[in-house]
C-alpha cells in the first residue's frame, strides 16, 4: 500500500474526522466560555465586590519604576517581571465553568439516551425443533 493511499485511508476514517470536528468545536466552545467568564461573570463579581478586578491582581517581582501605573499591562510594558495570579484565577474560573457545562451536557445526553432493549432470543430453527422431536420420540 502506498503512503498516499495509506494516508488517504487514515484521513477519511470516521475516527480522524470525528476527532478533528471535536477539536474545532471544543476550541470554539472554549472561546464562548472565556467570553462568558470575562464579559459576564467577572463584571458581576466586580460589581458585587465593589469594583474588584481579578485581572489586575499581581505581585511585582522587582521595583516598579516611578510614574508607571500599577496595572498589570502597564507594569509588564515597563519590563517588570510579575507574578500574575489574577490571570491564573480567571483561567481557573474558565476551566471550572467549562468543566461544569460539559458535566451537565454529558449528564443530559446520558439521560436522553435510551438503553437498548436486550435482543430477543433468536427463534430456534425448524430443523433443530424436528431433531429434538425425533430425539424425544426415541427416548419413549
pLDDT of residue 47: 83
Domain, as residue range, for 61: 3-114
Is residue 140, in this structure, part of any structural domain at all? no
Residue 108 maps to which CATH number? 1.10.1200.120
β-partners of residue 60 are: 82
C-alpha cell at 110: 446520558
Residue 33 CB neighbour total at 10 angstroms: 21
Is residue 131, in this structure, part of any structural domain at all? no
pLDDT of residue 81: 92
Cα separation, 21 vs 5, in Å, equals 22
User: With contact defined as beta carbons under 8 Å apart, do 90 and 54 qualify?
Assistant: yes
Residue 93 CB neighbour total at 10 angstroms: 19
Is residue 61, in this structure, part of any structural domain at all? yes
pLDDT digits (tens, 9 = 90+) for 121-139: 888 888 888 888 899 888 8
pLDDT digits (tens, 9 = 90+) for 55-103: 778 888 888 888 888 888 888 899 999 998 888 887 888 788 878 877 8
Is residue 133, in this structure, part of any structural domain at all? no
Residue 58 CB neighbour total at 10 angstroms: 19
Is residue 52, in this structure, part of any structural domain at all? yes
Is residue 88, in this structure, part of any structural domain at all? yes
pLDDT digits (tens, 9 = 90+) for 37-60: 778 887 887 788 777 667 778 888
Is residue 85, in this structure, part of any structural domain at all? yes
* Structural domain count of the chain: 1
The two beta strands, 59-60 and 82-83, are antiparallel
14 against 19, higher pLDDT: 19
Task: Find the helix packing angle between 14-35 and 3-11, rounded to 10°.
Answer: 50
Is residue 21, in this structure, part of any structural domain at all? yes
60 against 33, higher pLDDT: 60
Q: In the predicted model, what is the mean pLDDT of residues 12-22?
A: 76
pLDDT of residue 14: 65
The position carrying cell 480567571 is 90
Amino acid at each position: 500500500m502506498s503512503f498516499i493511499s495509506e494516508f488517504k485511508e487514515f484521513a477519511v476514517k470516521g475516527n480522524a474526522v470525528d476527532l478533528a470536528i471535536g477539536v474545532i468545536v471544543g476550541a470554539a466552545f472554549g472561546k464562548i466560555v472565556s467570553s462568558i467568564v470575562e464579559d459576564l461573570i467577572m463584571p458581576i463579581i466586580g460589581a458585587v465586590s465593589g469594583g474588584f478586578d481579578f485581572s489586575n491582581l499581581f505581585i511585582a517581582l522587582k521595583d516598579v519604576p516611578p510614574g508607571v501605573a500599577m496595572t498589570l499591562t502597564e507594569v509588564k510594558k515597563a519590563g517588570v517581571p510579575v507574578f500574575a495570579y489574577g490571570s491564573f484565577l480567571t483561567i481557573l474560573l474558565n476551566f471550572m465553568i467549562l468543566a461544569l457545562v460539559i458535566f451537565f451536557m454529558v449528564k443530559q445526553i446520558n439521560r436522553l439516551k435510551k438503553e437498548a432493549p436486550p435482543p430477543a432470543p433468536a427463534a430456534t430453527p425448524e430443523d433443530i425443533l424436528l431433531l429434538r422431536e425425533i430425539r424425544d420420540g426415541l427416548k419413549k
